[in-house]
């Protein structure tokens, strides 16, 4: 065996790669939980921001657009540290509440909820505005209330339009969530770094390859699910238009 091959085997051990999966996968539920909560709260806030942007109040429009601009211009890791250090500081300064011992995951959820809300506000606004206004006017003219027109006609079609971008946003949140280990949060990425540290920083390549494979599989599965959902709901959307 050549010396180069022996050096490669010493540096890269396939056994560490396969052994990493059983150690990492149990922590995937934490990653999913954080991403799920961030998507839930971010979607709710995003809907509020979207209607603020589409509303008639100039002040609310400026606030909503300003929020989106600030979130887009702030790197995820910077926002994470601002929330992690800023929220306890404000809570202590303004309300005399000590948040120093709060679970780190709460700050992670807050961070990515704020970030996801900015994205969802634009996705929701553009999806609703892409629907022909004539459909809303026609629905109201036949006796539907504005809320009924939105619920039965506009929202179902806008939902289909928003699905691809929503799926992309979900994948982005899962990937951006990998930064949470920088504040000591132990999810799948945090566990990977603990494994590497326990090995005295050796065989890090194998651990990160295993981590990358897990993220690749998750992203592909989510993408395929949303493609299927889009096809399924598009049939219902076409039936609404035809009616």
pLDDT in tens, 197-239: 887 777 788 899 999 999 999 999 999 999 898 888 776 555 5
HSE-CB at 144 with a 13 A cutoff on CA atoms is: 15
C-alpha angle 207-178-71 in degrees, rounded to nearest 5: 160
pTM surpassing 0.75? yes
DSSP secondary-structure letter at 56?
A: S
Q: At what angle do helices 104-129 and 28-54 cross, to 10 degrees?
A: 40
Domain count, the chain: 1
Nearest C-alpha neighbor of 230 from the set 170, 168, 159, 174: 159
Range of the domain at 33: 3-242
C-alpha angle 67-127-231 in degrees, rounded to nearest 5: 135
Least confident of 58-67, 166-175, 195-204: 195-204
Q: What is the pLDDT of residue 8?
A: 47
Nearest C-alpha neighbor of 189 from the set 220, 160, 211, 159: 211
Nearest C-alpha neighbor of 206 from the set 40, 23, 28: 23
Give CA–CA dist 208/200, Å, rounded.
15
Question: Does residue 3 carry a pLDDT above 50?
Answer: no
Q: At what angle do helices 155-176 and 204-242 cross, to 10 degrees?
A: 180
Find the CATH number of the domain harbouring 183: 1.10.3720.10
HSE-CB at 91 with a 13 A cutoff on CA atoms is: 13
Q: What is the pLDDT of residue 237?
A: 53
């Amino acid at each position: 065996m050549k010396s180069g091959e022996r050096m490669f085997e010493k540096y890269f051990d396939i056994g560490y790669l396969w052994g990493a999966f059983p150690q990492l996968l149990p922590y995937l539920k934490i990653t999913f939980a954080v991403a799920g909560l961030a998507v839930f709260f971010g979607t709710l806030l995003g809907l509020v921001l979207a209607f603020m942007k589409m509303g008639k109040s100039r002040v609310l429009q400026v606030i909503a657009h300003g929020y989106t601009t600030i979130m887009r211009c702030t790197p995820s890791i910077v926002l994470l540290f601002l929330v992690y250090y800023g929220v306890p500081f404000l809570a202590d300064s303004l309300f005399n509440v000590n948040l120093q011992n709060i679970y780190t995951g709460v700050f992670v959820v807050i961070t990515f909820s704020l970030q996801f809300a900015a994205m969802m506000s634009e996705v929701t606004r553009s999806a609703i505005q892409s629907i022909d206004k004539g459909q809303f006017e026609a629905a109201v003219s036949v006796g539907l209330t504005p809320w009924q027109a939105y619920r039965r006609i506009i929202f179902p079609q806008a939902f289909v339009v928003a699905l691809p971008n929503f799926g992309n946003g979900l994948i982005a949140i899962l990937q951006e969530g990998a930064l949470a280990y920088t504040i000591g949060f132990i999810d799948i990425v945090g566990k990977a770094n603990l494994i590497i540290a326990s090995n005295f920083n050796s065989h890090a390549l194998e651990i990160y390859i295993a981590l990358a494979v897990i993220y690749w599989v998750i992203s592909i599965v989510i993408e395929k699910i949303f493609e299927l959902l889009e096809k399924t709901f598009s049939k219902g959307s076409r039936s609404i238009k035809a009616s």
